[in-house]
């Protein structure tokens, strides 16, 4: 796979790795076919003893209805040490480098930004989001604030964030590392981890077990399929009671086999 040329905003030493492990496209499509995608995958991870979920009550979808599955390109941001005024006065260049990650990314990657310590300064704007979409990024997850919310909401890709802000990240936010491990809202994200996102929130699947987690999620999704259809069809109370009991029993048995 070819290595894309970077923009040149950041020193190359800040990029820990240029390549990340990526799942087969067929696996990504399989995840996308799941109903209640992020939720059912989160329940599957419970059976692996892994808690790596960020609910939408914390990290909101700026573009409602958006869904994404893809490997993570990670960005770690920290606050600038010098004052905003002094940096502008000296005409210092911005060190806000999420655009470098966009140029590193391959089609279908999800850029995940750790910007919690910079909050409420912006870690992403509408122009950057449009650029990410043009370069093939399938979504952006920001553990921090974003600006230009209306533009982000109308963008071609979904974005999740803590909320909107009018405070620019230029000369307030410094990107210190790309493609190293990060923490987003209490969840660890490694480069190449599979990001599963929808209106319920973000679920982070460790890359090495992405196939096994999908199989478990597929099983859990199937358990509820018959019950949902029976409700839609207006099944009688007793039939619903028996099916619900069977579903709960089957779910408990599936947990024992995990």
DSSP 19-61: ------HHHHHHHHTSTTHHHHHHHHHHTTT---EEETTTSEE
User: Six-digit token pair at 180?
Assistant: 């190293």
H or E element at residue 32: helix 25-32
What's the CATH code, domain 12-207? 3.50.30.40
The pLDDT-based confidence of 229 (bands split at 50, 70, 90) is confident
Tens of pLDDT, residue by residue over 85-138, are: 776 677 777 889 999 999 999 999 999 999 999 999 999 999 999 999 999 999
Q: What pLDDT does 1 receive?
A: 41
Q: The whole model's pTM is what?
A: 0.90
Q: What pLDDT does 87 receive?
A: 67
User: Six-digit token pair at 84?
Assistant: 């905003």
Q: What pLDDT does 3 receive?
A: 60
């Amino acid at each position: 796979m070819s290595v894309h040329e970077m923009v040149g905003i950041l020193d190359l030493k800040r990029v820990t790795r240029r390549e990340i492990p990526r799942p087969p496209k067929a696996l990504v499509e399989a995840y996308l076919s799941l109903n209640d995608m992020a939720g059912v995958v989160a329940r599957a991870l419970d059976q692996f003893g892994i808690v790596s979920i960020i609910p939408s009550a914390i990290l909101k979808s700026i573009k409602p209805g958006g869904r994404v599955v893809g490997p993570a390109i990670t960005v770690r941001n920290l606050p600038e040490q010098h004052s905003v005024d002094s940096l502008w006065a000296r005409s210092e260049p911005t060190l806000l480098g999420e655009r470098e990650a966009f140029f590193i990314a391959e089609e279908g990657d999800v850029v995940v930004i750790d910007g919690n310590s910079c909050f409420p300064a912006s870690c992403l704007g509408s122009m950057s989001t449009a650029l990410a979409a043009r370069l093939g990024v399938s979504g952006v997850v920001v553990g921090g604030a974003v600006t230009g919310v209306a533009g982000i909401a109308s963008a071609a890709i979904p974005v999740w964030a803590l909320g909107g802000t009018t405070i620019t990240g230029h000369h307030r936010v410094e990107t210190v590392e790309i493609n190293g491990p990060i923490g987003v809202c209490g969840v660890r994200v490694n480069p190449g981890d599979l990001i599963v996102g929808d209106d319920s929130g973000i679920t982070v699947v460790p890359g090495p077990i992405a196939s096994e987690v999908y199989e478990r999620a597929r099983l859990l999704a199937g358990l509820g399929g018959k019950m949902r259809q029976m409700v839609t069809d207006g099944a009688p109370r007793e039939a619903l009671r028996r099916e619900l009991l069977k579903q709960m029993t089957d779910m408990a048995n599936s947990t024992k086999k995990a």
